[in-house]
Amino acid sequence: MRILETVAELQRLADAERAAGRRIALVPTMGALHPGHLSLVKEARERADRVWVSIFVNPTQFDDPKDLSDYPRTLDADLAACELAGVDVVFRPGVEEMCPGDGRTTVAVAELCEPLCGRSRPGHFRGVTTIVSKLLLAAKPHVAVFGEKDYQQLAVIRRMVRDLGFGVDIVGVPTLRESDGLAMSSRNANLDPEARRQAVALVRALDAAEAAVISGETDRDALLARARAEIARAPLARIDYAELCDPDSLAAAPVRLTAPALLALAVFFEPGDPDAGSRVRLIDNRVLPVARERGGLSA
C-alpha cells in the first residue's frame, strides 16, 4: 500500500493507471475509519482495479471550531485498516495542500445545499464540495463511493459532478449499523456511555415513522410528531432538525404525503457526565415507503 501526500504525485499516479487501462475508485473519508467505511472500500473494489482512500479532516466544512478540534483522529489505526482491506493507495494530504492560505476559489451547489444541514451549518456544504472537487481532480477516479448516511451530502455531490461534468460515477452505499441499529459514524466514538445508550433514539424515531406509514398514516405533521416523540424519550437528546423532504430535490414534503419521502434527522446528544466531554451531533435518515397510489406501498 502506497501513502501519498501531495496532489501532484497522486495525479501522476492517476495518469499512469489510466494509461495502463486500469479503473480507479476513490473513497473520500475524514479518517476515524469504522466498518461502515470499509463497506465503501469493499464496494469500490467490486467496481475498479485500484482502490484509493483519502484521509483528510476538512476544516472548511466545520462551522464550529470545537467540533473540528473534537473530531476523532486515528491515523495509525486507519492506515492499518486500509492495508488489511487491500487498499492500494492512501492519500493523506496536509491542510496547506488542500486549503492553501492564498486560496480564493470555492465550489457551491445552489438549492440542494440550503435545507437540513445546510440551514443549521452555514457554509458546511461549500466546504464539502470544494474539497471533494479537489479530491476528484487529484485522484482522477472513474468512480467515487460515499455512504448514504450522509444523504444530503451524497445528493449535493451527485449534482455537482453532473453540473460540472466531472465524468465520475458517484455510488452510494447503504448505511451500516451497529447491532442496536445506531448508524455507524466516526462521531460515535465521542459519545460517553450514557449518551451512546440514548443515541438509539434516532433509529427508534425512523422505525416509528415507518411503522406509521405502513399502517396508512400520510399526514406529514403526524409522522414528524411520532419521530420527535421517540427522540424526546432520550433526556440527553436535543433536536437540531427532524424534517420530511422530497428524496430528490430535498424540498419540504407536502402536508399530505402522496409519494415516498425522506425523513432526515439531526440530533445533538449532551454528555451524560457534563465533565466528561462535549455534545455530539448525529444524523440519520430513511426514505419512508409512502404509497404513490391507493391500495399499496411503493416498491
What the block records as the C-alpha cell of 229 is 416523540
As a dihedral over the C-alpha atoms of residue 54, residue 60, residue 62, residue 68, rounded to 10 degrees, the angle is 70
Q: Answer yes or no: is pLDDT of 293 > 60.
A: no
Residues in contact with 263: Cβ distance below 8 Å, sequence separation at least 6, in sequence order = 205, 206, 209, 223, 227, 242, 243, 244, 285, 286, 287, 288
Domains of the chain: 2-173 (3.40.50.620), 186-288 (3.30.1300.10)
Per the annotation, the verdict on 34 as an active-site residue is: no
User: pLDDT band for position 291 (50/70/90)?
Assistant: confident
Q: Are 26 and 63 in contact (CB under 8 A)?
A: no
273 has a pLDDT exceeding 80: no
> CB neighbours of 20 closer than 8 A, spacing ≥ 6?
none
CA-nearest of 185, 221, 217 to 200 is 185
- What's the rounded Cα separation, in Å, for the pair 103 and 13? 25
Give the CA distances from residue 180 to residues 201, 202, 228, 231, in Å, rounded to whole numbers and listed in that order.
10, 11, 19, 15
Q: Provide the β-strand partners of residue 267.
A: 239, 282
Tell me, what's the pLDDT at 278?
Answer: 84
Of 233 and 272, the one with more pLDDT: 233
Query: Percent of the chain beyond pLDDT 70?
Result: 97
Residue 294 above 70 pLDDT?
Answer: no
- pLDDT at position 296 is 47
pLDDT-based confidence at residue 297 (cuts at 50, 70, 90) = very low
CB atoms within 10 A of CB 182: 19
CB 53 within 8 A of CB 75: no
Q: What are phi and psi of 219, to 5 degrees?
A: -75, 120
What number is the average pLDDT over the span 241-261? Answer: 97
Global pTM value: 0.94
Active-site position among 34, 37, 124, 142: 37
Separate counts of helices (H) and strands (E) for the chain? 11, 9
pLDDT at 276 over 80: no
Residue 124: C-alpha distances to residues 60, 117, 118, 248, 266 (Å): 7, 8, 6, 20, 14
Radius of gyration over alpha carbons of the chain, in Å?
Answer: 20
| pLDDT tens for each residue of 65-107 | 999 999 999 999 999 999 999 999 999 999 999 999 999 999 9
109-165: pLDDT as tens digits: 999 999 999 999 999 999 999 999 999 999 999 999 999 999 999 999 999 999 999
Q: DSSP 3-state assignment of 134?
A: helix
Average pLDDT along the chain: 95
CB 196 within 8 A of CB 190: no
For residue 115, the tally of other CB atoms under 10 A from its CB is 18
